[in-house]
């Protein structure tokens, strides 16, 4: 019986299996072709780079969130960490040193992420609940830092990160690509990556293989916090303004992108490239609606419908296991 299933799987890479495996890429390709046929302004290096540049902060968060989700966790605090990192970086850039601010954002994010991880593993509470609670706390901290007001940050030594270019390529895009490559290597080439998959796939088996599963989880949440911090710094540097409410709702966009890419919400399976593809897909839909000048209401509606379809496709695949 089991051998029969194995054979049937090997013999049959059907359209359905292909769609499940590479669905997000197929939809991106369809959108790319469709949009370039509809509009002459779409398929230009400038527009495409612009899309990447706009998506860089979200994509950075999605890359790291992939590790959390593969590890069987969930992080609802990335938006709030983004906010804390934004205002902290803004304050430090003005009052201390702009270069230090660039490093301080990710570092603060790392610490807040570590706090998430330590609470989750220390008390054995589900990450969903813990990060829901800490997101409120962190957002409160962001408001306390600025007293609720905005901090304008117009310093060249700081804004190069979000606004600068090397040649035609935005520095933020280069940071994103570097970040993505580092996370791909981390997940696929290192012992840490293996452990993340094992912890999410079967925690008991991981424990009985001598893996310090709590440490692995704390590390995934720390990395996710760091990514949210870096994303916050890039955003502040770009708009030259630090605001405590920055990044509100971003945690859901990041989760949507990871799921859209095809990483399993059940943990144990997924890939970093998938999440970046998920972000790009959402950005393309956004861009398409802007180009076509359609009522923005349809944008959210379309994104929502596509997420439902993607999740349903993935579920129909996993049901066979």
C-alpha 298/C-alpha 57 separation (Å) is 24
Q: Scan for tokens 């509809």, then name that residue.
A: 38
User: Quick one: which of 264, 275, 286, 303 contacts another protein (CB under 8 A)?
Assistant: 264
Interface with another protein by CB under 8 A: which range of 85-93, 118-126, 146-154, 194-202?
194-202
Q: Which residues are 242's β-sheet partners? A: 151
Q: Is 42 near another protein (CB under 8 A)?
A: no
User: Quick one: which of 95, 208, 297, 319 contacts another protein (CB under 8 A)?
Assistant: 208
Q: Is 192 near another protein (CB under 8 A)?
A: yes
HSE (side-chain half, CA atoms, 13 Å) at 144: 7
Number of other residues whose CB lies within 10 A of the CB of residue 185? 12
Interface with another protein by CB under 8 A: which range of 7-15, 54-62, 249-257, 289-297?
7-15
Interface with another protein by CB under 8 A: which range of 58-66, 94-102, 183-191, 293-301?
183-191
Are the CB atoms for 197 and 138 separated by under 8 Å? no
Interface with another protein by CB under 8 A: which range of 24-32, 94-102, 207-215, 249-257?
207-215
Q: Of 116 and 222, which has the nearer Cβ to another protein?
A: 222
C-alpha 207/C-alpha 251 separation (Å) is 30
Q: Is 219 near another protein (CB under 8 A)?
A: no
Q: Of 9 and 154, which has the nearer Cβ to another protein?
A: 9
C-alpha 247/C-alpha 239 separation (Å) is 13
Please tell me the count of residues contacting another protein according to CB under 8 A: 37
Number of other residues whose CB lies within 10 A of the CB of residue 201? 17
User: Quick one: which of 210, 293, 297, 319 contacts another protein (CB under 8 A)?
Assistant: 210
Output the smallest distance, CB 189 to another protein, in A.
Answer: 6
Q: Report the b/e string of 104-128 with b at 16+ CB within 10 A.
A: bbbbbbbbbbbbbbbbbbeeeeebe
Q: Is 147 near another protein (CB under 8 A)?
A: no
C-alpha 174/C-alpha 314 separation (Å) is 31
Q: Of 191 and 295, which has the nearer Cβ to another protein?
A: 191
Q: Which residues contact another protein by CB under 8 A?
A: 1-12, 189-192, 194-195, 197-198, 200-202, 204-212, 264, 267-269, 321
């Amino acid at each position: 019986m089991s051998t029969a299933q194995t054979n049937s799987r090997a013999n049959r890479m059907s359209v359905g299996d292909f769609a499940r495996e590479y669905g997000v890429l197929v939809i991106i390709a369809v959108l790319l072709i469709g949009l370039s046929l509809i509009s002459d302004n779409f398929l230009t290096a400038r527009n495409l780079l612009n899309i990447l540049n706009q998506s860089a902060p979200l994509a950075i968060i999605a890359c790291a969130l992939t590790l959390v989700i593969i590890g069987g966790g969930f992080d609802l605090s990335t938006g709030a960490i983004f906010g804390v990192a934004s205002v902290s970086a803004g304050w430090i850039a003005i009052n201390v040193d702009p270069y230090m601010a660039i490093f301080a954002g990710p570092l603060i994010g790392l610490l807040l992420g570590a706090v998430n991880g330590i609470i989750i593993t220390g008390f054995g509470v589900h990450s969903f609940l813990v990060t829901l609670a800490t997101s409120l706390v962190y957002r409160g901290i962001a408001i306390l830092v600025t007293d609720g007001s905005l901090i304008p940050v117009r310093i060249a030594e700081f804004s190069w990160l979000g606004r600068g270019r090397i040649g035609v390529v935005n520095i933020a895009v280069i940071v994103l690509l570097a970040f993505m490559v580092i996370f791909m290597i981390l997940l696929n080439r290192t012992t840490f990556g293996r452990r993340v998959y094992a912890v999410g796939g079967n925690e008991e088996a991981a424990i009985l293989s001598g893996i310090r599963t709590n440490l692995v989880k704390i590390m995934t949440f720390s990395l996710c916090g760091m990514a949210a911090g870096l994303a916050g710094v890039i955003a502040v540097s770009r708009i030259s303004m630090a605001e405590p409410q920055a990044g509100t709702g971003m945690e859901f966009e990041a989760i949507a992108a990871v799921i859209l890419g095809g990483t399993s919400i059940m943990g144990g399976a997924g890939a970093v490239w998938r999440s970046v593809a998920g972000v790009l897909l959402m950005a393309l839909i956004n861009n398409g609606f802007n180009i076509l000048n359609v009522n923005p209401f349809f944008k959210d509606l379309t994104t929502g419908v596509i997420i439902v379809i993607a999740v349903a496709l993935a579920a129909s695949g996993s049901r066979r296991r």
